Amino acid sequence: MKNIAILCSGGDVSGMNPALKHFVEYSLEKKLTPYFIYDGYEGLIDNNIEKVSYSDVSGIINRGGTKIGSARSKRFMSQKYREIAKQNLDILNIQMLVVLGGDGSFRGLDTFYKEHNVKFCGIPSTIDNDINGTDYCLGVDTALNTIKTSIDAIRDTASSFKRAFVVETMGRDCGYLALVTALTSGAELCLIPEIKYDLNSYEEDFKIQMKNGRRYFLAVISEGIDNSADEISNWFEEKIGIESRVSILGHIQRGGNPSVYDRLMAYKFVTYAIDGLLNGENNSVICHTKNDFVYKSINEVVNTSHTLDKELISCINKPS
């Protein structure tokens, strides 16, 4: 029997619990013994590691956050503590790690691999969607849905009271959450760190819109832009002449019931991570890249019947 462990590092996201559930079930299906490492690299250093089975992951698929905790670890940055971590893994004969985290966590793992040859596969997990090489990071869809629900509610009051609302999303230096939210919530203004902006250039157009009967404005801004949400709000009041309010969504964006897409992606990321480890991918990050739009002939579309995705069909539970 080979032993495999999973840990969560850095910020938690919705989708980690569904990933833990599938990790345990798929490991057992592949005749591996699954272990949980609690509280990220801290648990690896402190030997907070536990053998797990089906009952440890029952009832968690619909829960946000992570059952095994997540942490940042200063100690894991030092070779001395990584040595201790390796000793802990050796005692339990764990040769493979699956890590849910961001690029910082993966950098740490790669150092660990180079020093101690512990195989790993990283699963990109951050609501910021800012990891190079993957189009999707676990947790993003749930965060977007949470933001959408909040903005839909804000829109109701904005239109009732003739107001501008400035909604700030998370994302650090990445404007992905704000950009997708602005597009899918019909915002009039979207400001993100990647694009230089000049508020004055919106002034005339917004005033004309007000004259023509617009009752409210919705601005979605990313936390990483040069101006604060209050400054944008003051601009609406002073330059456009509409009462304005700020709503900083903060940590509600991270938690909550994982969306269908995040549950499915958790399932797929974990399957690929474990398969990769069993097939010689010793130090990789499992990335998800674009499904493009393609033009197809009418013949191809209407003369061939639809078939279900083979990969999905293969996931159906089979009798053991």
Comparison of 126 and 185: residue with beta carbon closer to ligand ADP? 126
Per-residue binding letters, 27-46, with ligand ADP (x by CB under 6 A):
--------------x-----
Over the window 57 to 76, marking each residue x when it contacts ligand ADP by CB under 6 A and - when it does not, the resulting string is ---------------xx--x
Does 11 bind ligand ADP (CB under 6 A)? Our answer is: yes
Q: Closest distance between ligand ADP and the C-beta of residue 89, in Å? A: 15
165 contacts ligand ADP (rule: CB under 6 A): no
Among 103, 188, 231, 237, binds ligand ADP (CB under 6 A): 103
Q: State the Cα angle at 169 between 21 and 109, rounded to 5°.
A: 45
Q: Find the part of the chain contacting ligand ADP (CB under 6 A) among 96-104, 141-149, 163-171, 247-255.
A: 96-104
Catalytic one of 12, 39, 128, 130: 128
Tokens for 46?
């402190």
**Least CB distance to ligand ADP at residue 174 (A):** 12
Among 6, 7, 8, 10, binds ligand ADP (CB under 6 A): 10
Residue 80's contacts (CB-CB under 8 Å, 6 or more residues apart) are: none
Binding residue count for ligand ADP, defined by CB under 6 A: 17
Is 110 a known active-site residue?
no
Q: Which of residues 118-157 bind ligand ADP (CB under 6 A)?
A: 126
Which of 18, 101, 175, 276 is the binder for ligand ADP (CB under 6 A)? 101
